[in-house]
Amino acid sequence: MSFLCSFLVVFWLLTLAAPVYGDEWPPADSLKVSKDVSLDEVVVTATKAVKGTPVAYSNLSKDELTSRNDGQGIPALIATSPSVIVTSDAGTGIGYSGFRIRGTDANRINITVNGVPMNDSESHGVFWVNMPDFASSVENIQIQRGAGTSTNGAAAFGATVAMQTEAPSTKANAEYSISAGSFGTIKHTVKGGTGLINDHFAVDARYSNIRSDGFIDRAKAEMSSYFVSASWYGENTLLRFQTFGSAEKTYQAWNGVPSDSLKKSYNTYRTYNTCGQYVEDGVIKFYDNQTDNYWQQNYHLIASQRLGDHWNMNLTLHYTHGDGYYEDYKTGAKYKAYKLPDYIDLEGNVKSKTDLVRRKWLDNNFYGGVYSANYRAKSLQLTFGTAVNNYEGDHYGRVMWTKTANALPKPDYQYYLNTGKKLDYSAYVKANWQFLPNFNGYLDLQYRGIDYTIKGSDDKGGDNMAVDKNWNFFNPKVGVNYSNKGHNAFVSFAVANREPNRDNFTEAAPNERPTYETLHDFEAGYSFQNSTFHVGANLYYMDYNNQLILSGKISEIGEALTTNIKDSYRAGIELTGGVAITRWLNWGGNLTLSSNKIKNFTEYVDDWDNGGQVSTNLGTTDIAFSPNIIANSIFDFNWKDFSASFVTQYVGRQYLDNTSTKDRSVNPYFVNNLRLGYAFHPRFVKELSLDLTINNLFNEQYETSGWVYSYIEGGKTKKEDGLFIQAGTNAMVRFTIKL
């Protein structure tokens, strides 16, 4: 910690002693941008890749996000970016949803907002259900594929997603948007801004409310969110306080639909949801309040300073509070698992099981600071950064009701409580040096340290959780980039390290706990762009050491054990392209072809006939959820105030486990979406616009993800599974008025 404090002080003094421009290469003297815009860009300069950075990345603009934003979450809005696949529990992209990039799962992707980490410190994931309609307050999104550049927070172990919130408009404005469509979906968004007051001060605000019944049975979502930003601009200074938050209540659809249901009537069984199911007097019923409930508030205080023509710096202090629970009905629950004595009825019979309703709570606080100093000159870019973030989270469970009367010692009986604490600190230096007229070299060195503890009782009946771990990681990155007359080529090499997440510890006995993972990422890319077309190709080889996977093995405490495997890799080529066919018609697309393998994989299967597990060495197998092909095509038509886009996506087969077994996979799917829009410009308002989006235009019946559990019974291998089914043809209409 003393090193980090010294680092911060030294570079603060350096910035005061030296003479920012924006975050683009070439240097500032070739750019014609306003100081206000430049100051807003300073906030994210340190964590974004810019022209000349030898990494594979793509950018999504405000206009692109707005055109797609009918109420779905961020995952659905980035779905056509290279190597991205998305999934949704409710089948609509609203509520619980997620994405993978290059097959990399959500808790291996670094997510930031204005450089502030958004990944949960313990699970490493980002729960987009807690950020409904956040896209309405986002200026742009950058997706870096591979290890990317050094950033703050969770390890970028396959991708980075950096979001920048929108800057204030220079003029006062107001906007109202309403979207409505299939499955009872309706979204209201109200936005407004003061514009610049006295050339210095601006306030912007947004409120959104989203309701949807979902495609899957009972997969209702009720979500609301807000965003408020107050900014003060000086000639060389930006001060901003922003807060955003949300409240959500969603009925659980986490189990997916059993594959057996897909063989039955489409209308009756394709939407079947087993969550909350129980049997009473021989009748199947569903618990009404089988819901997930969460409230989250984020606070950012940002200071950006331009110090002459070459230097800028940024300091952000942040605090996030979140609390909530999920409630579920448990059938045949053992009293022992809830630290309750067996029940003895009036006739003296001992009952060891009962039906009950429980709530599993999370109450957490995350706070810290991120700092960067940036130097930009004609041939040299330097960035120095540091971050210190602390997390404290209470996990506890309560039993709300039992079927057996008087079984609880008191109302809202608490049966476990444990606290996780995590201190995450890092420092990095990046240099991008143009050593020849068309060549620049890139060096990125990051140190990251983590201290993580868990103490208390667990939800499995144990009273002494004891995790106390610390890691020190060095993550170097190096590359060379060539640029000349529209041509760009690069080669790079990067190292990334990632610590295990909470479940990797809590699902294992003390002697089974895993070690950290290491990634060696080799990348090479070429692109060409002119006023008519652009093409690009990126080759990658991501070599993993000790990657954490599920093998079917059961831990000593009876949970699915995530274990380190020695050798695995992801290798592929990403092709991108686009052409202006006419002045009013454009085409763009991308294609990813990949091979994703585990070497020397051993599968473990529960043997229900004889007890224990049966192990089988399967040799080289495919990594789960990693399709060999992902393809996107986008036609954009624009004629005066009319616009249209036709989007096509194809995703190859995804295996649900690491055995390469076709019976345990999600079939390839081919989906088409159509959007039509028209903007009116009457005299009394700035703009009136009407949009129609038809998703899954040709009613493809498809699944995007799932889970599987295999076992041996009667001498045969059988399975239980759940598939996340997506909606057939559905539509949304949006009306927007801008003042």
406 burial via Cβ count (<10 Å: 0-12, 13-18, 19+):
exposed
Higher pLDDT, 390 or 343: 390
Q: For 173-205, how does the pLDDT look when each residue is reduced to its tens digit (9 = 90+)? A: 999 999 999 999 999 999 999 999 998 999 999
712's tokens: 């041996």
pLDDT value of position 37: 41
pLDDT band at residue 307 under the 50/70/90 scheme: confident
pLDDT band at residue 10 under the 50/70/90 scheme: very low
pLDDT value of position 718: 93
SS3 call for 698: coil
Q: What percentage of residues in the chain have a pLDDT greater than 70?
A: 93
pLDDT value of position 21: 28
Least confident among 51-60, 344-353, 624-633, 647-656: 344-353
- Range among 30-34, 347-351, 455-459 rated most confident: 455-459
Least confident among 79-83, 200-204, 460-464, 532-536: 460-464
Position 347 pLDDT exceeds 90: no
542's tokens: 């991501």
Q: How far apart are CA 739 and CA 735, in angstroms?
A: 14
Q: How far apart are CA 497 and CA 155, in angstroms?
A: 7
Position 16 pLDDT exceeds 70: no
What are φ and ψ of residue 673, in 5° steps? -125, 145
Position 304 pLDDT exceeds 90: yes
Angle at 216 between CA 214 and CA 217, to 5 degrees: 100
From 430, 388, 425, select the one nearest 23 (Cα to Cα). 430
Q: For 227-250, how does the pLDDT look when each residue is reduced to its tens digit (9 = 90+)? A: 999 999 998 999 999 999 999 999
Least confident among 22-26, 35-39, 195-199, 587-591: 22-26
Position 503 pLDDT exceeds 80: yes
Q: For 431-449, how does the pLDDT look when each residue is reduced to its tens digit (9 = 90+)? A: 999 999 999 999 999 999 9
Pairing type for strands 277-280 and 311-334 reads unpaired
Position 34 pLDDT exceeds 60: no
Q: How far apart are CA 118 and CA 110, in angstroms?
A: 8
Q: Report the pLDDT averaged over residues 687-697.
A: 97
Q: Report the pLDDT averaged over residues 449-462.
A: 90
Position 693 pLDDT exceeds 90: yes
Position 15 pLDDT exceeds 80: no
324 burial via Cβ count (<10 Å: 0-12, 13-18, 19+):
buried
Angle at 451 between CA 445 and CA 453, to 5 degrees: 155
Asked if residues 490 and 480 have their Cβ atoms less than 8 Å apart, the reply is: yes
Residues 6+ away with beta carbon under 8 Å from 610:
none
Q: Report the pLDDT averaged over residues 93-117.
A: 94
Beta bridge partners of 430: 383, 444
H or E element at residue 267: helix 266-269
Q: How far apart are CA 554 and CA 609, in angstroms?
A: 16
SS3 call for 573: strand
Q: What is the DSSP string of 294-327?
A: EEEEEEEEEEEEEETTTEEEEEEEEEEEEEEEEE
From 90, 86, 72, select the one nearest 727 (Cα to Cα). 90
506's tokens: 């809590």
Q: Report the pLDDT averaged over residues 645-673.
A: 97
Residues in the chain: 739
419's tokens: 């606290």
Higher pLDDT, 348 or 332: 332
pLDDT value of position 265: 54
pLDDT value of position 6: 40
SS3 call for 611: coil
Q: How far apart are CA 559 and CA 512, in angstroms?
A: 11
What are φ and ψ of residue 503, in 5° steps? -60, -30
Least confident among 252-266, 273-287, 341-355: 252-266
Position 2 pLDDT exceeds 60: no
Q: Report the pLDDT averaged over residues 295-305.
A: 96
Q: How far apart are CA 111 and CA 623, in angstroms?
A: 23
Q: Report the pLDDT averaged over residues 598-618.
A: 94
Asked if residues 60 and 78 have their Cβ atoms less than 8 Å apart, the reply is: yes
Q: How far apart are CA 281 and CA 261, in angstroms?
A: 24
Separate counts of helices (H) and strands (E) for the chain: 6, 38
Q: How far apart are CA 463 and CA 169, in angstroms?
A: 55
Q: Report the pLDDT averaged over residues 143-169.
A: 92
Residues 6+ away with beta carbon under 8 Å from 406:
none
Q: How far apart are CA 566 and CA 547, in angstroms?
A: 7
pLDDT value of position 558: 73
pLDDT value of position 253: 95
CATH 2.40.170.20 fits 2-738, yes or no: yes
Work out the mean pLDDT of the chain and round it to a whole number: 91
Asked if residues 362 and 414 have their Cβ atoms less than 8 Å apart, the reply is: no
pLDDT value of position 557: 66
pLDDT value of position 264: 60
Cβ count within 10 A of residue 7: 18
Position 267 pLDDT exceeds 80: no
* Rg, C-alpha atoms of the chain: 26
The domain ranges of the chain are: 2-738
Least confident among 155-164, 361-370, 402-411, 675-684: 402-411
